[in-house]
Chains A and B, each alone.
Chain A
Amino acid sequence: MTKLLEIKEVLKGIYSKYDSYIFPVLKFLLALIAYTNINRILGEMSKVNNLWVTIILSLLCSFLPANTIVIFSAVIVLLHLYALSLPAFIVGFIIILLILLLYFRFSSKDSLVLILMPLAFGLKIPYAVPLIFGLISGPVSGIGIGCGVVMYYFLKFIAENASNLTIIKYDEIIPKVKLIVEYLIKNDLLKVTAITCMLIVIIVYLVRRMEIDYAWSIAITVGGIVNIAIMLIGDFALDVSGNIGWILLSTAASMLIAFAIQFFVFNVDYTRTERVQFEDDEYYYYVKAIPKIAISTPNFKVKKINPQEKDKYDEEQDEFDDLIDLDFVNKLNDKIVSKSKENTSRSGYFVSEDFEEEFPAISKNAINRHTDYDDIDSY
């Protein structure tokens, strides 16, 4: 365990030192993965389905706010859908419009779930996302996760039925739109998955907020169990999803990822380096403020890797020890102890004679009470 804690300290140092490079690189990678996947699944429009376009867009995302990744993906998806078939474009446009208008309004910070959710589905670990967002975010991100699930199933349907959806005449639009909407409305697997994911977010969040030891780990475990339970119920009641072994495996993998991320990322409690600029009458200031690293959890045993210098308190203590006569202090201590033994009542607590004379009632009470405690102890 100490080894892991050491690694954590090192990681914390690295995060706060290089965060101005780490975040853009992460954003770039996420955007690149998202866009190549969209192109791989839908890649209908050849102008967008181009490595250079993907790389340039990802580079743009690396220094723009994280929401840009979501906006760009939405645009890419819509372009592909437009090239593929008009009905698919109409339904896709309305879904994205609803997400933008109704969901972004309240929780624009968690918008990345809209990207992460389909990606996690692609990696066969969809339940890792609700577990992680239950840990770092609030129950509101559950709505975003639900939207992500809908988006994934919609894109999956379009990709699988691409040849079915192309239209030649305009009066084919309405039946095709109907086909897509019917799939989205009547898909039980979609409903079960979306509800499971939303419930996981809420439950993990509630457990994580409880004032118990290891709340985070318990939250992940409970989330995993809830996931399996609901999927099994859905499996029996609605006859969806089928493969139970697969659900178990995927949930276990999701939980492992959540544990790993919890340990290496969220527990490090790191505050980021800030770069600010301001001016006064005389100067322009360009300030880089690096947070001091402090170990915030007192429960941890901190292993001293290097022998540390005596701190100020220890030095003062040493000086004090030099000044006083230790023998004398010890003798005095012995005297006090023996004196107190003489005056000790039956219960073993020291009560001064003067005090007893002055306040007989109180001291008697005190003795009695102590006696009571002694009785309890003896049991």
Chain B
Amino acid sequence: MINGEKIRRMTKLAIYESNDGKEAIKINGYYRSDYIGRNMLKTAFKVTVSYIAIFAVWATYNFDPLMTEIYGGNLLPLGKKVLLGYISLLVLFEVSTYIEYSIRYYKGSNSIREYDKELKKMEYLYNKESKHLDKRSDAGGKKE
């Protein structure tokens, strides 16, 4: 028999799972430090690739002065500048990643708690129902 109460609850759970819950369930699989660290690593990779791209454009734009500097053998100040630019971009993005993903983790773990409560209620309903069915089957009569 179809149980209306059960369907209502399951529908709400399914809607959550297909919307906000998608990210939250993924987040729930990580420790906070792992989740944030993983995303910071990803950011580091992306910033590095982006910086190389930016550097390539910059080098093309300043092609002639760059060449004279390279042939002049005076690479240390240039290297320092490039490294400093890279580090400052990296720090900027890592800090914003840390903030962004801390917030996401906090929100995700909060919403998953509500979801958990609903799941427990569902489990309770299930148990109640199956007990009810067991009782009926124990009621008597010849068993196969």
Contacts and interface: CB of A to CB of B under 8 A. Distances in A.
Interface of A: 91, 94, 97-98, 101-102, 105-106, 174, 177-178, 181-182, 185, 274, 276-278, 280, 283, 285, 287, 289
Contact of B60 (A97, A101, A177): A177
A97 B49 contact: yes
Contacts of B43: 105
Contacts of B61: 177-178, 181-182, 185
25 contacts: A91-B57, A94-B53, A94-B54, A98-B50, A101-B46, A101-B47, A102-B46, A102-B50, A105-B43, A106-B96, A177-B60, A178-B60, A178-B61, A178-B63, A276-B15, A276-B17, A276-B18, A278-B11, A278-B13, A280-B6, A283-B2, A285-B7, A285-B10, A289-B11, A289-B15
A94 B60 CA distance: 13
A285 B14 CA distance: 11
A106 to B, nearest CB: 6
Contacts of B2: 283
Contact of A94 (B17, B56, B96): B56
Contacts of A105: 42-43, 46, 97
Interface in B94-118: 96-97, 100
A274 B15 contact: yes
Nearest to B48: A101
A94 B57 contact: yes
A185 B60 CA distance: 14
Interface in B12-67: 13-15, 17-18, 42-43, 46-47, 49-50, 53-54, 56-57, 60-61, 63
Given A98-B50, A181-B57, A274-B11, 14 more contacts: A97-B49, A97-B53, A98-B53, A101-B46, A102-B46, A102-B93, A105-B46, A106-B96, A106-B100, A181-B61, A276-B11, A280-B10, A287-B7, A287-B11
The 10 closest A-B pairs by CB, nearest first: A276-B14, A101-B46, A278-B14, A94-B53, A274-B15, A101-B50, A287-B11, A177-B60, A181-B61, A98-B50
- Interface size classification for chain B: 20 to 34
B57 to A, nearest CB: 6
Interface centre among B7, B13, B42, B97 (most CB of A within 10 A): B7
B54 A98 contact: yes
Contacts of A289: 11, 15
Contacts of B57: 91, 94, 177, 181
Given A105-B43, A105-B46, A278 B53 contact: no
Contacts of B11: 274, 276, 278, 285, 287, 289
A280 B13 CA distance: 13
Nearest to A177: B60
B38 to A, nearest CB: 13
A287 B18 CA distance: 13
A91 B61 CA distance: 11
A177 B58 CA distance: 10
Nearest to B2: A283
Nearest to A176: B60
Nearest to B43: A105
Nearest to A91: B57
Contacts of A177: 57, 60-61
B60 A181 contact: yes
A276 B7 CA distance: 11
A12 B105 CA distance: 34
A181 B47 CA distance: 21
Nearest to B126: A280
Nearest to B89: A102
Given A101-B46, A105-B43, A289-B15, A174 B54 contact: no
A287 B4 CA distance: 12
Contacts of B53: 94, 97-98
Contacts of B18: 274, 276
Contacts of B13: 278
B9 to A, nearest CB: 11
Interface centre among B14, B17, B60 (most CB of A within 10 A): B60
